[in-house]
Structure 1
Amino acid sequence: MAKKYSSVYKKYLFLVFAILNFSSVYAQQSALIKYVQPFSGTSASTTMASQHIEDKTERLANTIPAVAPPFSMTQWTPQTQLTETKCLAPYYYNNKKIYGFRASHWISGSCTQDYGSFTIMPISGKLKTISTDYAEDYVHENEAATPSYYRLNFNRYKLQIELSSTLRCGVMRITAMKTDSIYLLVSPNSDENKGYIHIDKAKGEISGYNPVHRIYQGWGEAAGFSGYFFIRIKKVFNTGGVYSEGNVSENHTISNQKNIGAFAGFKLQKGEQILIYSGTSFTSIDAAKRNLESEIKNDTFETVLAKTNAVWEKSLSQIKVSDLNEKKKKIFYTALYHAQQHPRLFNDADGSYPQFAGNYQSKKISKGNYYDDFSMWDIYRAQLPLIELLKPDLANSFANSLVLKGQQGGWLPIFPCWNSYTAAMIGDHATAFLASAYNKGIRDFDVKEAYRLMRQNAFQMPDSADYLNGKGRRGINSYLKYGYIPMEDSIPNAFHKKEQVSRTLEYAYDDYALATIAKDLGKKDDYNQLIKRSLNYKNIFDPQVGMVRGKFKNGNWYKPFYPDHREPYITEGTPRQYTFYVPHDMPGLIKLMGGSKNLENELDSLFDKKEYWHGNEPGHQIPFLYNYTASPWKTQMQVNRILNEEYDEGKGGLSGNDDAGQMSAWYVFASLGFYPVDPVSGNYQLTSPSFKQSTISFNNGNKLNIRTIKSSNNSIYISKITLNGKTFSGTYISHNDLIKGGEMVFYLTEKPKNK
């Protein structure tokens, strides 16, 4: 009995120590960072609409509890999956084992793959180097996370592990809860049996790299750079060596074998700690070391944590929401956190970065920073517009990075990830983003070069080698010849094949986007051609069914027609859903549909049939389209419902892939009361805000205070809006009016104004 009591008492003390430790760290957190829930989206969705989705993979938000400043080079995350395989995030909440702590380049909320990562796994007792032997069972009660801090207690190994990080570097603190031998296992995570690792016992250093390989176009080929790391451990090694497939050696170096790694051994007394400093880079091991010296050097764990806390607090506090509903504040700030993961910082502290689509060549940026991992089909809709609104200088760096990619690779990339061409999705939305930024006055990049590259994509077909490599618009010759992409063109050289109707619709939008710049630059011929092409959506609208539909070269429609089924000519959706994708010409679409009342009826039908699917991007603008009818109150009703049903607290709180923050950015905009249906126009469609009050601080020094005055607790419908004391009419507000600041008041009632 006494022995049992002693065991329980020890566990109690262990738990108390952990709680006190975390409480001390958490006390450093400021007013807003405490609302962020990093585990949100790390499990299958539990939201209402997601339960109707048959394909369970589409219910995974695929976020990770990332520890890193906003838009950093490397995110640190606990690792419950060993692989860098496509569509498997490094961390899933429901997995039962931890395999270490990964320096990750996973695209948050995506179905892509990690790359160039490495993992550190601390263990105690005997040395084990096979993952099934050293993996630790863990429980979430021993786990805690914020955007700048992660902690986990290992029950079996009696170790406490804590993480914090800077833009390019990480720091891990290990505390021994009993006297024992401790081993650190460091693994480059190559699925290709490639990579290199070196251990220097005398200096207490471990370094290496994990070569990056392309996916989509050029799948499996070398991407022309690696994920490099440099680790410095502030304790003398008792022992050290390398291993592969469980075979241990006291050699200093190992490379290009399966499951390679290095180990370092120590003897720790109970309560003793080890600090592990890690630098990362995409150019070299030496650069990773220099990044570490630049960003952390010998800072204490508390110093690194305090600095990263401050960075997050400053960023989150650009939008301050006030409401009695604490749950909504948690969802909001978690969304704002997820919307600030990507694009990824790619250059070293000295400005060096791997050349885009290069062959292990480096460039140096002279101004700003260089970024990659643009999940462009997703983020041009709301995530990048959110950055344009809050951080225009950062948006300018994004724009400049895209221009540099185009110059270095010869063509403006469609979906630049892994610092390579991919042609992963459809559309040409680097053009949409550049036009959106340009039209909002974000122009501190080479506009002339940007226009040349955008125009090349819009008017030219690459040669066969470049096209196969992922350059240029897919199906551009067909699009230019017919004014749409006919069913005969199956788009074989793309990850997403066919999808001809969706491509036509999205190219029409991109043509409109480029036309706005052509007009401003005085390029009249280009403007006239592009603005005409922006109406190409009409060529695949069948008036007999009132929807878009597959079409052959001879003008015949594809049969049979299933409006609510996934069809081969539609991207990740149905004809009914994609019919509403004409954000740049809603008056034209309304005319095709037979008037605004018919548009309203079709929107009603979509929602009544429960065909609106919020878990994917093609329909994100749809709830706001009632603003183009006589019943804008239905926008307010549907947006309010989606905010309440499709976002929640906890691990299942997102209804589908977050896709580099797009799903989260939708929540941020919609809950504030406005959304960029057409980002290029610079206009935001209005809806009723979710919060009693919110204040947006713009980088021009202005602030916009948004207040809601409700006639009752159940009021969600707009009866009146005032802007700076004057009645505001209309269903949208411009970007320029927003950033002037002031006060916007929404008066809400229980009953719609025009019902």
Structure 2
Amino acid sequence: MLETKRFLSVGLALLGLGVPAPARAGEIFIQNPADFVLPFIGTTDGGHVFPGATLPHGMVKAGMDTNSPGNQAGYDADPQFDAIGFSQMHDSGTGGSASLSNFKIWPFASCPSFTKCPTDLFNRAVPRKLLPDGSPDDVASPGYFASNLSTDIRVELTTTRRTALHRYTFPVNSSQPRLLVDITDDGLQSGFEVTMDLDPSTGRVTGGAFFEGSFGPGDYQAFTCVDFRGDGYNFSGPTEYGSWFFNTVTQNATDLDGVFDGSAGALLTFPRSPPSANGTTSILVRVGVSFISSAQACASAEEEIPDWDFDRVRSDALDQWNELLRRVQINPTGVDTETVQLFYSSLYRTHIVPADYTGDNPKWNSTEPYYDSYYCNWDTFRTLYPLYSLHDPSRFALITRAMIDIWRFEGWLPECRGATVQQWVQGGSNADPILGEFFVKYHDQAASLNVSVSDLYNALVTDSESEPDDWDLQGRQANVWVQFDYVPDELFIDFQGTPTRQASRTLEYAFGDFAISQVAKILNKTDDAAEFVKRANGSFNLWNPAVSLPGFPSVTGFIQLKNSEGVFDQPTDPRHCSVNDPTHSTCFLDASNHDGFYESSPTVYSQFVPHDVAQLIIFQGGQEAFIERLNIIFNQSYFDVTDEPSQQIPFMYHYANRPGLSTKQSRQVLTESYNTSVNGLPGNDDSGAMGSFAVFLLAGLYPVPATRQYLLSSPFFPSISFFNPLFNSTTTIIANNWGGSSVYVSNVTVNGSPWPSTCFLDWSHFSASTDTTIELTLTDDDSLGCGDTSDALPPSLSTGGFD
């Protein structure tokens, strides 16, 4: 099987014990949680996870590229696909087309001659060695990747933030070790306007090209700087050098003059190392990358890896991962190892992107941080950023500042962005709930975190009220939204984007404006807050009580398309875009989507009113009818774990005073949809959206973004704790009576005092300046409600819950 090296540092004999060890606030159970990370989870069958070497949020993500059709992150664990290069930048978990995968390095153990090396992207492909179980002989751990190729070359990769360090170990019989630098072949083979310069005396290769964006109309320019050094021996430079174009090598050429596009780069031969005990030759390759220039790529490489010490760079990367992951502690007593691995692997994947491009922004000069690879906010706003709130506020602040800076220079907050260019907007302007999440949680600390409150608020208002030239790439269809408090389904003379997804965009815009209302309230902007609350209620402006679910006549009322005259003139079958859709309609991001919804059915999207589920329950006929509808969503497979609009649904029973049903469903989603295999994800990881969802499921929590609330279930562990370095405090959730069928919460105390609800926790429980202990009493009784007091149900807008 694909291997992740693990050096278990906790007493894992504990994992077999039946009685959980008592937890104390701030207790460290797992000193090196990176040991439990399995980077290969989700690396085939559509997960598109990047398993290579990177730092938390590193710009450089060095990894293997394979010749598979599903190589959006470069790599595919399926052994039928061959390796074609080791490139420096990737995204993780995305759909769309393959992104990045720039500046591949490729080793040749032997060629008939220098000019006969198979340099073309597909001709040079070789299989990986296979292990006895038939899986590739690839190894990964946080900050490190290695593979044994069928040519007997061992490849190892590690990184700093903007630089990759490769180590290629050639076999004894490799008399002329050669390395290829690929300038043009990104994941789409799209490079054009190519430049390259090769220094024959040192072997340094610099160059760059323009490349196509993977999920939008824009192009970007990227550059590289590649240096070579013997590992354990010295050489002055290459013994042979040249350029290549497709499968033609031109010896002694130092540039690519005359090449506009197509597969091209440099080829170099290096001296073997002196005779040694094992006779192998190891060559280090340092690869800097930049979106500004080759000179910047060289400067970054020289600054970050001046000593060429592979083991130091790898160790430093591992230390950074352990420090970050260690902030979230679980008590592993009585828990199977696979669940521990699933938890920390999921948490790990939430910190691969967004990527920190600070100091490498080609668009404008700024002293603010610059983050990229928001791919896309529609996927991540629900769970990724609320998870950052719990354990990584400083990083969250940097990302918030970066988003605000994009607004300063481009006019709107980013929605989907990759490789410095705008990409297609999927739903609403979903940076709004992200900034709302940050501000609701950290408004008191905004100044110390260098977040401009005025700019944050103005950016939110711009998103809501100012229509851009093209709302396919940023912002909203704001003019009609402000006019109608919904998005009508007809064309408008002045429309500046694709006139689709009107119903789902209405729901997304409404929730975005709810998030803005919460910011306005904190800032005492009373009139603004009232206006944004009014627009947040626009969710219900598309409610059509006359539509019922085929086969279930008692399930009536759905979000539907409405025209500007207020008429529901184009009914959409509630089964549309579900496994029950008799027409198998499209609901993706294209002009043929005329049914008003994006990637989820009306049945699912009609539940998306996170800010006012109490009102939604009234529209759906009361608590019992609401519960019946939720049951049908699950029993008839309308729930779609592969798409984020479904993520809240397992926890919605809370609002009908049946938290036990939420616990059942959420646990079932986790156990049926996630595992630690290479196809252990339900679909694309979506830039950590599915990883953060898994973390919350395992923690027994679910966030309501841009609010103070975390819906409460029960953890898969005897205890779980979150350390917040900004407050220098830890919140520990202890599950008393944990184990067996006792998974339902019957009582909650906070620091020994009763908490009135078993259905939600408040942000104050996670933001104190001293440690907080939350104790849950678990039972096997699934019929218990949220509590006896009027404030036991989770808050909703219509019940005054967010006043």
TM-score, length-normalised on structure 1?
0.88
Partner secondary structure for residue 177 of structure 2: strand
1:80 correspondence with 2:83: no
1:585 correspondence with 2:575: no
From 73, 84, 103, the equivalent of 2:88 is 103
Partner secondary structure for residue 62 of structure 2: strand
**Structure 1 residues 394 and 453, CA, compared in 2 at 3 Å: closer, same or farther?**
same
How far apart are 1:624 and its partner, in Å?
1.0
Counterpart residue type for residue 211 of structure 1: F
Partner secondary structure for residue 277 of structure 1: strand
How far apart are 1:417 and its partner, in Å?
2.9
- Residue 183 of structure 1 is matched in structure 2 by 178
**Structure 1 residues 27 and 391, CA, compared in 2 at 3 Å: closer, same or farther?**
closer
Deviations for 1:599-636, whole angstroms, at most 9, x for unmatched residues? Answer: 22211121121211111101111111111112111111
- Residue 451 of structure 2 is matched in structure 1 by 445
- Residue 784 of structure 2 is matched in structure 1 by 754
How far apart are 1:344 and its partner, in Å?
0.9
Task: Provide the rounded CA distance (Å) in 2 between the counterparts of 1:24 and 1:508.
Answer: 46
Deviations for 1:159-209, whole angstroms, at most 9, x for unmatched residues? Answer: 111111111111111122213221111102253341322221212311222
Deviations for 1:3-41, whole angstroms, at most 9, x for unmatched residues? Answer: xxxxxxxxxxxxxxx99xx97999999732121111111
Deviations for 1:620-673, whole angstroms, at most 9, x for unmatched residues? Answer: 111111111121111111111111111101101000111100111011122112
- Residue 517 of structure 1 is matched in structure 2 by 519
Counterpart residue type for residue 658 of structure 2: S
Deviations for 1:496-547, whole angstroms, at most 9, x for unmatched residues? Answer: 7511110111101111111222223333332222111110011101123322
- Residue 734 of structure 1 is matched in structure 2 by 762
Task: Provide the rounded CA distance (Å) in 1 between the counterparts of 2:156 and 2:465.
Answer: 53
How far apart are 1:711 and its partner, in Å?
6.4
- Residue 53 of structure 2 is matched in structure 1 by 67
From 55, 73, 87, the equivalent of 1:89 is 73
Partner secondary structure for residue 115 of structure 1: coil
- Residue 651 of structure 1 is matched in structure 2 by 678
Task: Provide the rounded CA distance (Å) in 2 between the counterparts of 1:343 and 1:732.
Answer: 29
Counterpart residue type for residue 90 of structure 1: G
- Residue 6 of structure 1 is matched in structure 2 by none
Structure 2's unaligned 5+ residue stretches are: 11-29, 112-116, 132-136, 274-278, 547-555, 578-586, 588-594, 786-803
Counterpart residue type for residue 781 of structure 2: K
**Structure 1 residues 174 and 226, CA, compared in 2 at 3 Å: closer, same or farther?**
closer
Tell me if structure 2 keeps the 8 A contact 1:204–1:233: no
**Structure 1 residues 492 and 312, CA, compared in 2 at 3 Å: closer, same or farther?**
farther
Partner secondary structure for residue 584 of structure 1: coil
Partner secondary structure for residue 680 of structure 1: coil
1:258-657 mapped onto 2 (5 Å cutoff): 258-268=262-272, 270-323=279-332, 324-347=335-358, 351-355=359-363, 362-365=364-367, 368=369, 370-373=371-374, 375-442=376-443, 443=446, 444-462=450-468, 466-467=469-470, 470-473=473-476, 475-489=477-491, 497-544=499-546, 545-566=556-577, 568-657=595-684
**Structure 1 residues 711 and 673, CA, compared in 2 at 3 Å: closer, same or farther?**
closer
Tell me if structure 2 keeps the 8 A contact 1:244–1:257: no
How far apart are 1:563 and its partner, in Å?
1.4
Partner secondary structure for residue 261 of structure 2: coil
**Structure 1 residues 413 and 683, CA, compared in 2 at 3 Å: closer, same or farther?**
same
How far apart are 1:416 and its partner, in Å?
3.0
**Structure 1 residues 89 and 419, CA, compared in 2 at 3 Å: closer, same or farther?**
same
How far apart are 1:268 and its partner, in Å?
2.4
Task: Provide the rounded CA distance (Å) in 2 between the counterparts of 1:129 and 1:422.
Answer: 32
Task: Provide the rounded CA distance (Å) in 1 between the counterparts of 2:327 and 2:438.
Answer: 19
Task: Provide the rounded CA distance (Å) in 2 between the counterparts of 1:123 and 1:311.
Answer: 33
Bigger helix fraction: 1
Task: Provide the rounded CA distance (Å) in 2 between the counterparts of 1:561 and 1:70.
Answer: 43
**Structure 1 residues 132 and 455, CA, compared in 2 at 3 Å: closer, same or farther?**
closer
From 215, 227, 230, the equivalent of 1:231 is 227
1:24-43 mapped onto 2 (5 Å cutoff): 31-43=32-44
**Structure 1 residues 712 and 240, CA, compared in 2 at 3 Å: closer, same or farther?**
closer
Task: Provide the rounded CA distance (Å) in 2 between the counterparts of 1:746 and 1:151.
Answer: 43
1:135-174 mapped onto 2 (5 Å cutoff): 135-141=125-131, 142-155=137-150, 157-174=151-168
Task: Provide the rounded CA distance (Å) in 2 between the counterparts of 1:177 and 1:160.
Answer: 8
**Structure 1 residues 716 and 548, CA, compared in 2 at 3 Å: closer, same or farther?**
same
How far apart are 1:694 and its partner, in Å?
2.0
- Residue 592 of structure 2 is matched in structure 1 by none
From 698, 712, 734, the equivalent of 1:686 is 712
How far apart are 1:227 and its partner, in Å?
4.2
Task: Provide the rounded CA distance (Å) in 2 between the counterparts of 1:100 and 1:192.
Answer: 16
Partner secondary structure for residue 264 of structure 1: strand
Partner secondary structure for residue 99 of structure 1: strand
**Structure 1 residues 712 and 408, CA, compared in 2 at 3 Å: closer, same or farther?**
closer
Deviations for 1:356-410, whole angstroms, at most 9, x for unmatched residues? Answer: xxxxxx4142x55544535211111111111122111111111111111111112
From 216, 219, 223, the equivalent of 1:222 is 219
Q: How many residues align?
A: 701
Counterpart residue type for residue 723 of structure 1: V
Partner secondary structure for residue 553 of structure 1: coil
Task: Provide the rounded CA distance (Å) in 2 between the counterparts of 1:414 and 1:612.
Answer: 25
From 727, 741, 744, the equivalent of 1:714 is 741
Deviations for 1:256-294, whole angstroms, at most 9, x for unmatched residues? Answer: 231001111124252221111111222111111111122
Task: Provide the rounded CA distance (Å) in 1 between the counterparts of 2:339 and 2:34.
Answer: 14
Counterpart residue type for residue 222 of structure 1: D
Task: Provide the rounded CA distance (Å) in 2 between the counterparts of 1:24 and 1:738.
Answer: 31
Structure 1's unaligned 5+ residue stretches are: 1-17, 45-59, 356-361
How far apart are 1:495 and its partner, in Å?
8.2
TM-score, length-normalised on structure 2?
0.83
How far apart are 1:561 and its partner, in Å?
4.2
Tell me if structure 1 keeps the 8 A contact 2:292–2:362: yes
Task: Provide the rounded CA distance (Å) in 1 between the counterparts of 2:660 and 2:494.
Answer: 44
Tell me if structure 2 keeps the 8 A contact 1:69–1:167: yes
Structure 1 runs (4+) deviating above 6 angstroms are 22-30, 490-496
Tell me if structure 2 keeps the 8 A contact 1:470–1:494: no
Tell me if structure 1 keeps the 8 A contact 2:167–2:284: yes
Task: Provide the rounded CA distance (Å) in 1 between the counterparts of 2:5 and 2:700.
Answer: 36
From 89, 110, 126, the equivalent of 1:125 is 110
Task: Provide the rounded CA distance (Å) in 2 between the counterparts of 1:226 and 1:754.
Answer: 58
Task: Provide the rounded CA distance (Å) in 1 between the counterparts of 2:214 and 2:168.
Answer: 36
Tell me if structure 2 keeps the 8 A contact 1:116–1:228: no
Tell me if structure 1 keeps the 8 A contact 2:74–2:98: no
Task: Provide the rounded CA distance (Å) in 2 between the counterparts of 1:328 and 1:23.
Answer: 17
Counterpart residue type for residue 713 of structure 2: T
How far apart are 1:102 and its partner, in Å?
1.2
Task: Provide the rounded CA distance (Å) in 2 between the counterparts of 1:711 and 1:285.
Answer: 57
Task: Provide the rounded CA distance (Å) in 1 between the counterparts of 2:493 and 2:124.
Answer: 47
How far apart are 1:298 and its partner, in Å?
1.4
Task: Provide the rounded CA distance (Å) in 2 between the counterparts of 1:352 and 1:652.
Answer: 34
How far apart are 1:109 and its partner, in Å?
3.6
Task: Provide the rounded CA distance (Å) in 2 between the counterparts of 1:116 and 1:81.
Answer: 12
Deviations for 1:65-102, whole angstroms, at most 9, x for unmatched residues? Answer: 1210110001111110389xx97431111142111211
Partner secondary structure for residue 677 of structure 2: coil
